[in-house]
Structure formats: structure tokens, C-alpha cells
Copies of this chain bind each other. A is one copy, B any other.
Amino acid sequence: MLIIGNHVSPYARKVLIALDIKGVDYEVDPIVPFYGTDAFTKVSPLRRIPVLIDGDLILNDSTVIAEYIDERWPEPPLMPRAPEDRARARWMEEFADTRLGDLVIWKLFFAKLVAPRVFHREPDPAALAQVTDVALPAALDWIEPRAPEAGFLFDHLCTADIAYGCFFRNAALAGWTIDPARWSRSAGWVARVWAHPAFAATMPYEAAILGARSHERPAALRAAGAKVSEHSYGGNAPQPSIMLG
């Protein structure tokens, strides 16, 4: 099984952690978002990561892939069992994928870390301040009453917990962390997600990815313990594309 994507994409990371929890073996193709060959477009018509390729099965969209992983390898479960709980978990995940995707990934992480490196475009301080001082606090105000006081959203780490852990890791990498004095439940919850063994095990990949230039990344990831595919769907030039998924 191949996963196209790398751990610094919160969408890909969600899927990779899900596979780790299930104990499923896989290789990664850590392509740079915005790069990608024509072969990549064939397997990802929206040019998004992650992509799962398992024989004839080609799947896009992190939510779709995570649901597949949980149904194909049911133990240990990722989703809760009761229909209402499953629905709440999915809606929490969707809020993260959509709202935090927009705020944390595009308007913060991308603007601050990716655009300057990949597109030589410097961030606009006023736009960044709007995200960090207004929009992210408003999102946290929505999250806070829904965050668990102890443990996770349900009785075990579920896909939605992982999603929030992933987005707030990207926020932290871009210098923004949840203020525990203002959002104590959210701050504690996300800290517990990060400390979960399956999540904690992915921390070394962050430095391997962010600290290496794209052509050095496979070697850096292998050194950090990842199984990296010999073949890559990555291209050599940036292209207008989207990384959300």
C-alpha cells in the first residue's frame, strides 16, 4: 500500500496515524504539495494529498481514506460505535478539515512557511494577525465546549481527535499555540492527542520534512524511520494546485 503525502500535511498525517494504529504496513511518497507529475493528476484528479493506492483501489480525500481504513481493518476501532457518536465525530472532523484547514493551513502555515519557500511570496502581517488574533480565537470558542475535559472525544482515540491534533501541530509549527488560560479544555485535549503513542511517534518526521530540501526528503524520512517508496509522483516544478484533502 502506498500513501502519497507527508506528515506535515495534516490530512496525510491523519491517514498515516490511522494506519499506524491499525498496524498496517505501507510506504509513503512524500511529495511536495503543489508539485506532482501528470501521473499524480491521474490518481488525484483534484491534485490533493493524501492518495491511497492499494492494487486497483485508488482513493482520495483523507476522510474517505480514514473511513476505509477503519472498515477494512476494524481493530482497534478508530470511530466510536453508536450512530449519534459517529455522526458527532464526523462533524467535528469536518469542522477541523474545513475551518482549521482554511485558517491553520492556508492562512497561517502556508502563508508563513510554505509560500515564502515555494513561491517566494512573503506573508502579509495584517492578514496573519487577522488569523491569529480574530479567526482562530473564534474557532477555538466553538471548539472549547466540545473538547473533552479528560481523555478523548469518545472512549478511545478517534479520527476526529487525530484531526485536531494534526491541525494544531501545524499551527504550533507556525508559531501559534492554544492559550491554556483561555481555552483550557482544548489545550489539554490537544496535548493528550499529541502524547498518544501513535501521534508522538510521528513527531520526528516533522523535522525530517521541514529541515530537508525536497530532494533530500526521502533520505531524511528514511533516517527517521519511514518506509519511503522508490517511485515518486512528485514533479520538479511547482504548479498551481491545492493540498487540502
Contact = CB atoms under 8 A, between A and B. Distances in A.
Interface of A: 45-46, 57, 59-61, 63-65, 67-68, 71-72, 83-84, 86-88, 90-91, 94-95, 98-99, 142
Contact of A67 (B60, B87, B95, B99): B87
Contacts of A63: 63, 90, 94
A94 B61 CA distance: 8
Contacts of A67: 86-87, 90
Contacts of A90: 61, 63-64, 67-68
Number of copies: 2
Contacts of A46: 95, 98-99
Contacts of A87: 57, 59, 64-65, 67-68, 71-72
A95 B84 CA distance: 25
Contacts of A68: 83-84, 86-87, 90
Given A57-B88, A59-B91, A68-B84, 12 more contacts: A45-B99, A45-B142, A46-B99, A60-B94, A61-B90, A61-B91, A64-B87, A64-B90, A67-B87, A68-B83, A68-B86, A72-B83
Contact of A71 (B45, B83, B88, B98): B83
A27 to B, nearest CB: 19
Nearest to A102: B46
B45 A95 contact: yes
Contacts of A99: 45-46
A67 B99 CA distance: 21
Contacts of A86: 67-68, 71
